[in-house]
Structure 1
Amino acid sequence: MIASLAPAKTPDQPRRCFVIGPIGDPYASNGSPEREAYEHHLEIFEQVIVPACEKHGIIAVRADGIAHAGDINDQICRHVIDSDLVIADVSGGNPNVMYELGLRHITGKPTVHIGEAGKLPFDIASIRTIRYQRARSHLAGARKEIESALEVGLRDGFELLTPARVLRGLLQNVEGLSSSAEGGKTEDEDSPGLLDDFAAIEDGLEEMTADVGTIVKMIETIGALTEQTNTEMLDLSQANAPASARLAAVARYAKSISSPAQEMNLVAGTFAERMVTLDSGVRAALGLIEVTPTDERDEGTEEFLGQLMALDETAQESLGQLGSFATSAGGLVRLSRHLHKPAKDISAAVKVMTSAITSMGDWASRARALAQRPTT
């Protein structure tokens, strides 16, 4: 949820909520996915969102309910940016919804996320989302959660997400410089500024670098144990040892790699969570650097860009090792039931890390372009 950067509405002004989410096609044939999507999301709108808003005197509308004539895309953008409140159904990560949600996040105005359980997109998993299931009893529970979220937000204010917080930090720095030039003081001397936000992001990037180092260490450990077992299995084979002896060797091997495989999976999950948490902040920070003249950057900015590029290089190096691990993990399961659990941990870690590292490449590409930009 995001707090507003603009002044709050006065009590006598009506509050309006714009609802963004998948809509489907009301004219599609019965039973088609498009028609089912329309009926499902209309039910969510009418039975969950509208009554929750009405309880607080808020008028809810979605794109197909805009009454004014005009360009629908222009109208949607205006509603996304200008509405007092936005409720976003992120189920399935619909591209249009995610684009509109990105516009809303930058404004810093109040936003509530909801989504169908099991269909939440990976890249915003760290943001608090009210989850619902299609059963009628669960819809009633989701309505109550939205009512509660609105009550708390209207009373205490909505929390800022990283893009809005970084933007506010920039605005406060600009205001602070102006105020200092005039001999005045800022309104909130303890609020974080842009450099504070950069420092927080850099701390997170250092932790991600440490995560990659831990995973590489686990890969080396499992690789060494695998080599030892391969030698032992070759000796047993040459000695015509019975199957029971080879099975015992595999069982010992499975036990020896269980702990590093489990740790690798846990650290991979932590790495991915850090990336999701930092993603919007890193992108917002890169956006701010893009509009800052090169000769006006400070040393901290260059260090930040260098940190993004270094992290990507380290992660890419480990990606090759992870690829070979993915192949070997699949073969382990066929050897013995003792290897099912460690093989599952290794496969899960490989999948999570590959996805996270691939997404991280965009950070590094933008950082390299900014680092190579000539002085203006």
Structure 2
Amino acid sequence: MNASPALRHEPDPPRTCFVVGPIGDPYAMHGSPEREAYEHHLGIFEQVIAPACERYGIAAVRADGIAHAGDINEQICRHVIESDLVIADVSGGNPNVMYELGLRHITGKPTIHIGEAGQLPFDIASIRTIRYQRARSHLAGARREIEGALDVGLRDGFELLTPARVLRGLQTVDRPLSSAESGNAEDEDSPGLLDDFAAIEDGVDEMTADLEAITKTMETIGALTEQSNIEVLELNQANAPASARLAAVARYAQSISAPAGELKTVAGTFAERMATLDSGVRAALGLIEVTQSDERGKGAEQFLEQLVALDEAAQEGLANLGFFGASAESMARMSQHLRKPVKDISAAVRQMTSAITCMGEWAGKARTLVHGATV
């Protein structure tokens, strides 16, 4: 929030603030984790956030305080996108909070992060976060920090977060606005919404390339395994001594060591890309969801089709991965020579299975949006 006045324009003060954060369950049993979460976060809202906003004439509301009837998910998305200010409690990295926060980041509108000390998610560690502890004195300090952030932001302008950089865990950059810019117009050198979508699409393209590399590596290991099976079968038929069969297994372990290590590396890269892109892709899907189908444009439809195609390619390989992992585990019992490559293969299978599950959630949402647009 420490922006140089010379690089900021005087914005109109925000009048509405949507508070994103864990809600808990007010109807849960007393003493249950859900009820304690509700009481805690309600206290943060009432004692910290709402008073800080009220000092500057800003009306703060949580999701459970939305008065209008209608689809609550759509209402939350609209509040996240349209509110003048969002204050997000990122404590614990709640998935719903991170989804809504990613959606907000794409808009580039003012956002303040707060979070309980010791519970801040790693993937947004590059963004300044106001930390609080549950003691009353610390809550008062957090309220004053929010007031200070609002004072600076209203006077000098709020820092604009670049979604593509945020989603990759890089440091945020200031985006100077000249006094000639008005109506939320962006600086001519700053990325716009289509640029952010393109960045996500590039990441999805890279994941597609990773899948192709993983498939080729699995094919290489499969071919080497088939050759080894033939050799071991011939040795068994010839009633060769155990030492000869052990030597054959050792040769096989040596031959698959390099591709097994490569498989683990590429699978790790694939899983990292998934983790990096997850909040951005979900935010993009949320933005598409609240946009009328006839206003989405060709780029949004291509993006949805890309997610579906990526998932189809991944699901095709998932069955092979499962068989591959089971075969690897059984091989490890044959000889100690196989334990290291099998360990690499098993690690790759676990990483890929987890990542592909997440990818299936993207594709499920994308299919729903595509189907809804065609009805």
TM-score by length of 1: 0.60
- Work out whether residues 17 and 59 of structure 2, in 8 Å CA contact, stay in contact via their aligned partners in 1: yes
The CA distance in 1 between the partners of 2:85 and 2:302, in whole Å, is 38
Q: How far off is 1:340 after superposition? A: 5.6
Match of 1:290 among 269, 289, 293: 293
The CA distance in 2 between the partners of 1:135 and 1:339, in whole Å, is 48
Q: Which residue of 2 aligns with 1:84?
A: 85
Q: Which residue of 1 aligns with 2:265?
A: 263
Q: Which residue of 1 aligns with 2:209?
A: 210
Q: Quick check: 101-110 or 319-328, which moved more? A: 101-110
Distance 1:314 1:133, change over 3 A: farther
The CA distance in 1 between the partners of 2:35 and 2:369, in whole Å, is 43
Letter in 2 for 1:209: T
Distance 1:134 1:26, change over 3 A: farther
Q: Which residue of 2 aligns with 1:111?
A: 111
Distance 1:36 1:370, change over 3 A: closer
Letter in 1 for 2:254: R
- SS of alignment partner, residue 18 of structure 1: strand
Which whole-Å deviations, capped at 9, do the CAs of 1:289-344 have from their partners, x for residues lacking one? 72239xxx66x677656544543443333233223224334435555443563144
Distance 1:113 1:84, change over 3 A: closer
The CA distance in 2 between the partners of 1:334 and 1:37, in whole Å, is 47
Which whole-Å deviations, capped at 9, do the CAs of 1:226-272 have from their partners, x for residues lacking one? 32333344445542414864774565356344422322322322441
Q: Which residue of 2 aligns with 1:175?
A: none
- Work out whether residues 265 and 346 of structure 1, in 8 Å CA contact, stay in contact via their aligned partners in 2: yes
Q: Quick check: 207-216 or 224-233, which moved more? A: 224-233
The CA distance in 1 between the partners of 2:367 and 2:34, in whole Å, is 37
Percent identity (aligned): 34
- 1:269-308 pair list within 5 angstroms: 269-273=271-275, 275-276=277-278, 277-281=280-284, 284-285=287-288, 288=291, 290-292=293-295, 307-308=306-307
Letter in 2 for 1:325: F
Distance 1:41 1:230, change over 3 A: farther
- SS of alignment partner, residue 291 of structure 1: helix
Distance 1:292 1:38, change over 3 A: closer
The CA distance in 1 between the partners of 2:225 and 2:147, in whole Å, is 53
- Work out whether residues 84 and 110 of structure 1, in 8 Å CA contact, stay in contact via their aligned partners in 2: yes
Q: How far off is 1:214 after superposition? A: 1.3
- Work out whether residues 24 and 35 of structure 1, in 8 Å CA contact, stay in contact via their aligned partners in 2: yes
The CA distance in 1 between the partners of 2:112 and 2:328, in whole Å, is 41
The CA distance in 2 between the partners of 1:103 and 1:14, in whole Å, is 20
Aligned residues: 326
Q: Which residue of 1 aligns with 2:37?
A: 37
The CA distance in 1 between the partners of 2:103 and 2:197, in whole Å, is 22
Distance 1:71 1:223, change over 3 A: same
Unaligned 5+ segments in structure 2 are 2-9, 165-184
Distance 1:287 1:247, change over 3 A: same
Q: Which residue of 2 aligns with 1:345?
A: 347
The CA distance in 1 between the partners of 2:366 and 2:20, in whole Å, is 34
Distance 1:226 1:289, change over 3 A: farther
- 1:1-150 pair list within 5 angstroms: 8-10=11-13, 18=19, 20-25=21-26, 28-30=29-31, 32-38=32-38, 41=41, 63=62, 82=83, 84-89=85-90, 91=92, 93=94, 109-113=109-113, 150=149
Distance 1:42 1:231, change over 3 A: farther
- SS of alignment partner, residue 262 of structure 1: helix
The CA distance in 2 between the partners of 1:212 and 1:309, in whole Å, is 14
Q: Which residue of 1 aligns with 2:219?
A: 220
Letter in 2 for 1:224: A
Distance 1:317 1:347, change over 3 A: closer
Q: How far off is 1:219 after superposition? A: 1.6
- Work out whether residues 283 and 363 of structure 1, in 8 Å CA contact, stay in contact via their aligned partners in 2: no
The CA distance in 2 between the partners of 1:366 and 1:72, in whole Å, is 24
The CA distance in 1 between the partners of 2:28 and 2:316, in whole Å, is 51
- SS of alignment partner, residue 211 of structure 2: helix
Q: Which residue of 2 aligns with 1:230?
A: 229
Letter in 2 for 1:111: T
TM-score by length of 2: 0.60
- Work out whether residues 330 and 343 of structure 1, in 8 Å CA contact, stay in contact via their aligned partners in 2: no
- SS of alignment partner, residue 28 of structure 1: coil
Distance 1:79 1:272, change over 3 A: closer
The CA distance in 1 between the partners of 2:353 and 2:132, in whole Å, is 27
- SS of alignment partner, residue 87 of structure 2: strand
Q: Which residue of 2 aligns with 1:173?
A: none
